Amino acid sequence: MDILFVADALASFKIYKDSTFTMMRAAQARGHRVFACEPRHISWVRGGRVQAEIQALWLTGDAVEWFSITASAVTPLKEFAAIVMRKDPPFDSEYFYATHLLEQAEREGAKVFNKPRALRDHPEKLAILEFPECIGPTLVTRDPEAIRRFHAEHQDIILKPLDGMGGMGIFRVRQDGLNLGSITETLNRDGAQTVMVQKFLPAIADGDKRVLVIGGKPVPYCLARIPQGGEVRGNLAAGGKGVAQALNDRDRAIAEALGPILAARGLLLVGLDIIGDRLTEINVTSPTCFREISDQTGFDVAGMFMDALEAAQSA
């Protein structure tokens, strides 16, 4: 089948760790044809279909010149058997507009994974609020006084912006409350922006675990992203060390509880972030860690994804 990947610029891919590249490689290995575009290439005009400037790709196997473009054309999105939305965050206004164009393409007959509406309905920080039994003490607010009260109750807290990615903008404030006021002002922009505050989980020392859920089912291994040096953040983008490990009973229980619910909403691929026994985020835009898990365990994550994509496309 013809599979279109809506992603960032191909030249920006770091293929030694890029999950989208891993998906493309698995698709080509199965005989599917691989195409790519960026969200900025998608357009619509009255009387026509949602279309995009598409590049047909051949993955060469070379580590540097990893793809060649075999054809380029403006093509209606409904002509592809499957469209995989893999644009990285931030979930800004342009991402939002892209989901609406992709949803119009769905109305015209396209099949998009993850579903555009589901992407909008599950902001990656706030989606956890639906599952309070899985999360630790959490506050979402603009109010500096509410943040101070939360700190007074829990003593050691994490503050983070709702639109951050890769560990960006995450602060820890310990019992002494040092710089709590200035951190709050920075993150909430003097009351103009909502902030998430969570009780600090000491289990972060053992890693911020990325648990992948594909087609409602957990990948049997996660990637524990372990903070290095004096960092509190385990994110790989912030210098964390990724160590693949088998899911424990709690990881599996959370994934098996949430997986079918999220899959039924059109979320074919989800990345759950778990610290200790607590869910901290639900990542739906472009979950990663395929390469690290596969390289360290031998489990074919991309193969599991392709199985789920083929099944969903034919359903």
Active site residues: 125, 160, 210, 225, 233, 273, 281, 283
Tokens coding 13:
């891919």
Tokens coding 109:
């007959």
Tokens coding 114:
């993850």
Residue linked to tokens 């580590």: 63
Q: Taking Cα atoms as reference points, which of 309, 244, 302, 239 lies closest to residue 4?
A: 309
Q: Taking Cα atoms as reference points, which of 179, 184, 154, 191 lies closest to residue 169?
A: 184
Taken as a whole, the chain contains a residue count of 315
Q: Taking Cα atoms as reference points, which of 6, 108, 96 lies closest to residue 54?
A: 6
Classified as helix, coil or strand, 8 is coil
90 residue type, one letter? P
What backbone torsions phi and psi does residue 311 show, to the nearest 5 degrees? -65, -40
